[in-house]
A and B are shown apart, each in its own frame.
Chain A
Amino acid sequence: NAGVTQTPKFRVLKTGQSMTLLCAQDMNHEYMYWYRQDPGMGLRLIHYSVGEGTTAKGEVPDGYNVSRLKKQNFLLGLESAAPSQTSVYFCASSYAPYGGGNEKLFFGSGTQLSVL
């Protein structure tokens, strides 16, 4: 049981390049999330999904797009990377929405992205 798997683990981009981060979970979770973590900033929610085919904006969505075509996968896209998007990106999933009492997050191991 792999849990939450993120690929790639590391990536270096030049400004203006595009890329897609893939997140896959095998726990049959409905809810999936993309966070970014920057020093001194904690974790900030980029986008999230409450089910297959649905996505919603989080706290810092600008410059990112997401898709949830299959329940187990949640993709994060950067169309035109900027140095401000240098960060560690974490994908997470949960069984239930917040407030349901069973909404603990399971995280992937992260992607270190550098934009030069």
Chain B
Amino acid sequence: GQQVMQIPQYQHVQEGEDFTTYCNSSTTLSNIQWYKQRPGGHPVFLIQLVKSGEVKKQKRLTFQFGEAKKNSSLHITATQTTDVGTYFCVNAGNNRKLIWGLGTSLAVNP
């Protein structure tokens, strides 16, 4: 079935450095969602990408959907301690049975 693979699994950065997490699929995705989960918290919706090659920005966060709709990325510019958490990409094309990536855990050293 459809699966999404996220890399890296963990990332430690120094505050102010950039961070990127990647989401890859072997099959074409109809769309993809990104969620953030703070330690001890619940997932919070960040964005949904639908169109091939789509790029969306939210302040320091940039989300991209690949031209072939088989991959996506989340890039954070100049990380802050508030960015700490786990970022999940979610395959939103599987008829209500969302398939979640395993997430990328981001740690930011102040």
A binds B: yes
Interface positions of A (Cβ within 8 A of B)? 31, 40-45, 48, 50, 56, 58-59, 90, 97-99, 101, 103-110
- The interface centre, meaning the residue of B33, B98, B101 with most chain A CB atoms within 10 A of its CB, is B98
Q: How far is the CB of B107 from chain A (nearest CB, A)?
A: 16
Closest B residue, CB atoms, query A49: B96
Q: Is the CB of A48 within 8 A of B96?
A: yes
Q: Is the CB of A45 within 8 A of B97?
A: yes
Partner of A99, one of B35, B95, B102: B95
CA of A44 to CA of B98, assembled, Å:
9
Please count how many residues in chain B sit with their CB below 8 Å of the partner chain's CB atoms.
23
Q: What is the total of A-B residue contacts with beta carbons within 8 Å? A: 55
Q: How far is the CB of B93 from chain A (nearest CB, A)?
A: 7
Q: Is the CB of A105 within 8 A of B102?
A: no
A110 CB contacts on chain B under 8 angstroms: 42
Q: Is the CB of B102 within 8 A of A106?
A: no
Q: How far is the CB of B26 from chain A (nearest CB, A)?
A: 17
Chain A, interface SS category: loop
Tell me, yes or no, whether B48 is within 8 Å of chain A by CB.
yes
Q: How far is the CB of B104 from chain A (nearest CB, A)?
A: 11
Smallest CB-CB A-B distances: 5 pairs: A107-B42, A104-B45, A42-B100, A43-B100, A42-B102
A43-B88, A98-B95, A99-B95 are contacts. A90–B100 as well, Cβ < 8 Å? no
CA of A106 to CA of B31, assembled, Å:
18
Q: How far is the CB of A38 from chain B (nearest CB, A)?
A: 11
CA of A94 to CA of B103, assembled, Å:
21
